[in-house]
Amino acid sequence: MEINLFRLCSGLKIIGYFMILLVAAIISVSYYAIVVVTWGPELLRGGVHSFLAFFIIVMFHILLVMLLWSYFMVVFKDPGSVPENWKPLIEEENLEAGSSLTLSENIEPEAFTSTQSSDGRERRPQVGYCSRCQNGKPPRCHHCSVCQRCVLKMDHHCVWVVNCVGARNYKFFLLFLLYTFLETTMDTLVLLPNFIHFFSEATDHSESPGNLAVIFLTFVLNLAFALSLLCFVVMHASLLSSNTTTVEVHEKRGAIRWKYDLGRKKNFEQVFGTKKALWLLPLFSKEDLDNVPALRGLEFPTLSDTEA
């Protein structure tokens, strides 16, 4: 019997829904352990303990709100798909009127290639053709076997969010990683004293076994997530600084100079926009959406453009 591998890939969506429930469960356990069991009661003690508890609970809720806001934006925001019957624009250098011509309908899919000048530098981004979608592929676009479509500037399909990470939600994904790392790190630190006294409290029966088990479980989970997320944060920070996606890492290895690397500042603005006030919020300004082509996912400036 022939096995359809792409159908098996589509089954990852079902696993993703369980991941969402797992995220909700971890957040609930952490909330109970920190706010209800450990630091909430400290508010009633007065003095320094109350001030510290108030600060910790406020920071916990701020990071939690930002984490959930970013998470739901990644889950529900379309990463960007190729418009139906999309074809690239060919800019005619000899037209002074500023008009442009599109590829004609009878051009074969193989013609969706880049053109180069005599010095070998690319004049316009390379485009391709997807035989599964029967449509053109803009630069940096890849077909997702799970979503069964081409995704603009696809980074990867994330099981944790049941969605692809692409041009239009990559910022939200990075913020989700950042705020989750900060939240789990803070949770680990504020539960560390309780974890250290875990065994003595268990021996003295000074707290209920249920609360001790919750504190122990919460500390271990948050520590594990904080360490693993640190690796992802560092990795994606490196990719962001060089304007590279996860699926482009192999392609970049064969290039002397990565054509999309325009410098850290411009690379950052292609993902987070130019409005500094919104950099830490899972939002884009209308001005950035209108003026930064990379946020739309169909056009990306290259080194040849900036050097021209």
Across 49-63, average pLDDT: 95
pLDDT tens-digit map of 153-198: 999 999 888 899 999 999 999 999 999 999 999 999 999 988 887 6
Burial category of 32 from C-beta neighbours within 10 Å (exposed 0-12, middle 13-18, buried 19 and up): middle
* Alpha-carbon span 52 to 219, nearest angstrom: 19
Which of the four pLDDT bands, split at 50, 70 and 90, describes residue 204? low
Q: What's the pLDDT band for 231 if we cut at 50, 70, 90? A: very high
Kindly name the residue from 141, 158, 164, 231 that is annotated as catalytic.
Answer: 158
Contact between 162 and 13 (Cβ < 8 Å): yes
For residue 20, what pLDDT is reported? 84
pLDDT tens digits along 88-102? 765 433 333 343 333
φ/ψ bin of 11: left (φ > 0), alpha (ψ from -120 to 50), beta (otherwise): alpha
Would you say residue 109 has pLDDT above 60? no
Quick check: is 164 catalytic? no
Residues 40-58 have a mean pLDDT of 90
Dump pLDDT digits (tens) for 8-20: 455 566 777 788 8
Q: How far apart are CA 161 and CA 86, in angstroms?
A: 28
